A and B are shown apart, each in its own frame.
Chain A
Amino acid sequence: MWKTILRRIILMIPQIIILSILVFVLGSLMPGDALTGLIDPTISAEQVEAMREKLGLNKPMPERYVDWVSGAIRGDFGRSFQHRQPVLSIIGQRIWPTLWLSLLTVILTYIIALPLGLLSGRYQNSWLDKGVNLYNFISFSVPSFVLGLLMLWLFGYTLDWFPTRGTVGSSVSPGTLDYVLSRLNHMILPAVTLALISTTGTIQYLRTGVIDAKTQDYVRTARAKGVPESKVYSRHIFRNSMLPIAAFMGYTITGLISGSVITETIFTYQGMGSLFIGSINNRDFSVMTALVLLFGVMSLLGTLLSDIIMVFVDPRIRIN
């Protein structure tokens, strides 16, 4: 088993290298460089040239790549000219809202998806199953930005139940309970939006899993032994149907990443997704490249996680 996992990890190394080359090339194709933002009338062209030389911006591309990568490994992504501070510290500020939002989204997703998937599988072809299928069809069809916008319009502006922008109210100070509640209040709409569109896969897998399990021998054995029906579902079937869902979790990370860019923009939520759009709009390329690299590595780690869980869960992969 460890051999399989090790092989999978080694496989990731060339992927990360190609990703970093791709991001670097994209970054260097961007107009302007790290100094563009510093240029103002008080600095002469010679001084800028000297700074370029000192920062190594005049070196050939392969050398600049090596510099950039060795900086990135140490956490040095350069400075953001828009925010006038190191890229890493901006990402450090913005990463937490996104992480909290993602955590709430994952929790909500499972709160919605687990009961729906289990019940629709258990009462196959009932009105409940049909309702769940309809819900699944709609949540699969509606694009996330349309759903987010309608939620914002309906619950934010029209009904005025939730705040419409930002991550926290302006009147509360950090450290108090009000602050935490205000943060939570700002997260609900975006989290519900993201959760609603990401339940489809989980419900589908769980429903099929339960339907398949119903006719399995171990379920028949349990029934024959006189295990109550509710326990057959809650213990025997539930556990087995959960296995593919557990393995699915790593891929969820990849989904949340692309989801955060759109959702955070709609709700002007101050996380990494909106930081990315902001850095593109302001041509703040050092932040942009760092974010693409970071999100890419996170997606790679997500699939790695899923594959590793799969190895533990599914013995067939281990043997191969």
Chain B
Amino acid sequence: MVLNKQEVDAKTAEVVQDENHEGAPPVGFEVIRREFAKDKIAMGALIILLVIVLGVIFASFFIDLDKATTVNIFNRFTPPGEDGYWLGTDEGGRDVFALLIVGARNSLFIGWTITILTAIIGIVTGIISGYYGGIIDDIMMRIVDFIMVLPRLMIIIVVVTIVRSFNAWTLIWVLTAFGWVSQTRLFRTATLSEASKDYISASKTLGTRDWKIMFIELLPNLSSLIITNLTLSFAANIGIETGLSFLGFGLPVGTPSLGTLIGYANNPDVIENKTWVWLPAVILMLVLMLCINYIGQAMQRAADSKQRRG
């Protein structure tokens, strides 16, 4: 390819401008750290989230799960503060505080596991789809588009009803089966723009194997997107799991979730007169959701040099 002088000049100008603009920019975690140092609310959200997560994990070691889930009809709906129950008891006489801790732990664990699984599947399929393009991309996108429009919530509920030996892992796999598609789409788009860059073409010219280009050379450049996306989809997955448990189609009986506790409010008497059963779970849920999403958005800003504050 022969470029005339004007074009060459334009290209050099572009490169120079790019260099001036970037000027040895901070990379990866450093960018995020600087954003959080600048953004006090994001820092606060991060601290609150860490306190909740560590507190829940720590406290759950001291809770006897059998005792917490055993029905004791004589303690039915004990108001908070009585008989040594900090937050009172539910309709089965179970300690709401213990259920809250165990429920939060389960919801956080399930949400995080689904997030990791969907991210792994999404990153691999997304990069393959975006890197190879052509027929592989076409087929993959047909599948993704189809799963995306399915009435996901309804089909999950049906599957949950069909599977007999139902436990937390079944729920995790069912939710993963529907969750990976949005990740694939995201990472495919990112790969498409990344794969057209010079360092990829250079590597191809040198004869580097495809898998090496994809997962050793290209993948690290998606790291800020991956971190941001892990946070935001963590919040979304907690929302889906608790929503299903709230409707009664999430975690099985005996495995409490934040959604199970909130679900008690489906009973008119409980929602009106026995607020202590469900309101703590709602508040914890709101705090978790707002914190995680705020952290996610702060990371998103950090990843985008135009919006960066730090």
Please give the residue numbers on chain A whose beta carbons come within 8 Å of chain B beta carbons, in ascending order. 15, 18-19, 22, 26, 29-30, 137-138, 140-146, 149-150, 152-153, 157, 164-165, 254, 257-258, 261-262, 265-266, 276-277, 280, 288, 291-292, 295-296, 299-300, 302-303
Contact = CB atoms under 8 A, between A and B. Distances in A.
A258 B151 CA distance: 7
A141 B146 contact: no
Nearest to B258: A146
Q: Is the interface of A mostly helix, strand, loop or mixed?
A: helix
Contacts of A300: 149
* Chain A to chain B: the 3 pairs with minimum beta-carbon distance, closest first: A141-B293, A143-B239, A295-B151
B265 A153 contact: yes
Interface residues of B, number: 38
Contact of B290 (A18, A26, A138): A138
B147 to A, nearest CB: 10
A229 to B, nearest CB: 26
B290 A292 contact: no
Contacts of A164: 268
A29 B275 CA distance: 40
Interface string B148-160: 0111111101110
B243 A143 contact: yes
Contacts, number: 103
Interface string B258-289: 01001001101001100100100010011001
A299 B150 contact: yes
A152 B246 CA distance: 15
B205 interface: no
Contacts of B266: 265-266
A26 B151 contact: no
Interface string B225-255: 0000000000100010011001101000000
Contacts of A26: 155, 158-159, 162
A145 B243 contact: yes
B152 A258 contact: yes
Contacts of A257: 151
Contacts of B162: 26, 29-30
A30 B266 CA distance: 26
Contacts of B249: 280
Nearest to B272: A157
Nearest to B282: A146
Q: Is the interface of B mostly helix, strand, loop or mixed?
A: helix
Contacts of A153: 265, 271-272, 275
A248 B177 CA distance: 26
Given A153-B271, A157-B272, A145 B246 contact: yes
Nearest to B289: A141
A206 to B, nearest CB: 18
Contacts of B268: 164-165
B158 A292 contact: yes
A277 to B, nearest CB: 7
B286 to A, nearest CB: 6
B149 to A, nearest CB: 5
22 contacts: A18-B146, A26-B158, A26-B159, A30-B158, A30-B162, A137-B294, A140-B293, A141-B235, A143-B285, A144-B243, A145-B242, A149-B282, A254-B149, A257-B151, A258-B151, A261-B153, A262-B247, A276-B154, A276-B157, A296-B149, A296-B150, A299-B150
Interface in B153-183: 153-155, 157-159, 161-162
A172 B262 CA distance: 33
B100 to A, nearest CB: 15
A146 B150 contact: no
Contacts of A22: 150, 155
Contacts of A29: 162
Contacts of A265: 247, 266
A299 B149 CA distance: 6
A142 B282 CA distance: 10
Given A143-B243, A262-B247, A300-B149, A291 B271 contact: no
A157 B158 CA distance: 32
A244 to B, nearest CB: 17
B297 interface: yes
Given A26-B162, A153-B265, A292 B151 contact: yes
A299 B151 contact: yes
B282 A291 contact: no
Contact of A157 (B154, B235, B271): B271
B153 A258 contact: yes
A14 to B, nearest CB: 9
Nearest to A303: B149
A262 B266 CA distance: 11
Contacts of B155: 22, 26, 292
Given A145-B259, A292-B155, 5 more contacts: A26-B158, A254-B149, A258-B153, A291-B154, A296-B149
Nearest to A277: B247
Nearest to B240: A143
Contacts of A19: 150
A145 B278 CA distance: 13
